[in-house]
Amino acid sequence: MAKRPASPDNTPNIEELFNMAVEAAKQGQRKGARVMFRQILEKDKRNVRAMMYMAKLAATDQERIAWLEKMLEVKPGYEPAEAMLSKLRLDKAASRNRRMFRLGIGAYVVAVVLVAALIMIAAASLTL
């Protein structure tokens, strides 16, 4: 595959910029990679590869979900995006369920302690 030359003002073309962004991401330079992927998306708003990296480099799950949904608007049925989105939603539901379970256990323990305390108070008042 022949490399296309950079533009006359020496800025890299989209493919070169994409490769530089991927390399930056691999080296842990998340901020720099995100800047380059955004530049790609400014030039090509339908670049699914750049969107996928933006989803992978997202700072929050909410941002990740937004990128994946945007990707699916551009390319409906895109399996990698659907799989990531499904896993994210499943993980969020599991996390919410764990929190609710812990809260339920905590409430149960508090209720048992309160009942035990009430029984002890009632028993103590009977012996007086």
Question: Whole-angstrom Cα distance, residue 21 to residue 106?
Answer: 47
The residues near 78 (Cβ < 8 Å, ≥ 6 apart) are 48, 71, 72
> Can you give the pLDDT of all 128 residues of the chain as single tens digits?
445 554 556 677 999 999 999 999 999 999 999 999 999 999 999 999 999 999 999 999 999 999 999 999 999 999 999 999 999 988 888 888 888 888 889 888 899 999 999 999 988 888 76
Which pTM value belongs to this model?
0.65
Would you kindly state where each structural domain of the chain is located, as residue ranges? 14-97
Q: Which CATH class is domain 14-97?
A: mainly alpha
Query: DSSP letter string over 59-107?
Result: SSHHHHHHHHHHHHHHSTT-HHHHHHHHHHHHHHHHHHHHHHHHHHHHH
| Per-residue model confidence (pLDDT) at position 10 | 67
